[in-house]
Structures are given as C-alpha cells and as structure tokens.
Amino acid sequence: MKDYGGVVRACRKYRHITQTTLSKLTGISQETISNYESGKKIMRMDVFEKLMDAMDFEIGIKEK
C-alpha cells in the first residue's frame, strides 16, 4: 500500500501550508486530512489528486 498520507504531509510542509489552510482550500475537514496523514484513514486516489492540486503539485505517470 502506498503512503499517500505521508506524501501529502511532506508536500504540505514543503509549501508551508497548515492542515487548516489545506482544509479551506479543498473543503476536506482538517480532521480528515489529519487522519489521512497519520494513516488512520485510507485515501482514495481522487482525494489525493485534489489535495495535491490544491497545493499546486502536478501528478504525472511516466510511460516506459
């Protein structure tokens, strides 16, 4: 299983964004973001994309 919560946490800290601010940007509650980051809740890919987009990160897939 991928650690998407850990990626979100690292990117959020890199951008100096609080969970509260990310919550306001996405409409996802701060508690839910916290649960994703701590691994208490499993994040769907569409939610991951929404969070990353709100922090201005692009998700790409490399083709071989």
Q: pLDDT digits over 22-43, tens only?
A: 999 999 999 999 999 999 999 9
What's the rounded mean pLDDT across residues 4-15?
96
Q: CA 2, CA 15: separation in Å to the nearest integer?
A: 21
Q: What is the DSSP string of the chain?
A: ---HHHHHHHHHHHTT--HHHHHHHHS--HHHHHHHHHTSSPPPHHHHHHHHHHTT--------
What's the rounded mean pLDDT across residues 52-61?
90
CATH number for the domain that contains residue 19: 1.10.260.40
In-domain check, residue 64: no
Judge contact between 26 and 50, C-beta under 8 A. yes
Q: The pTM is what?
A: 0.88
In-domain check, residue 63: no
Domains in the chain, number: 1
Mean pLDDT across the chain, nearest whole number?
93
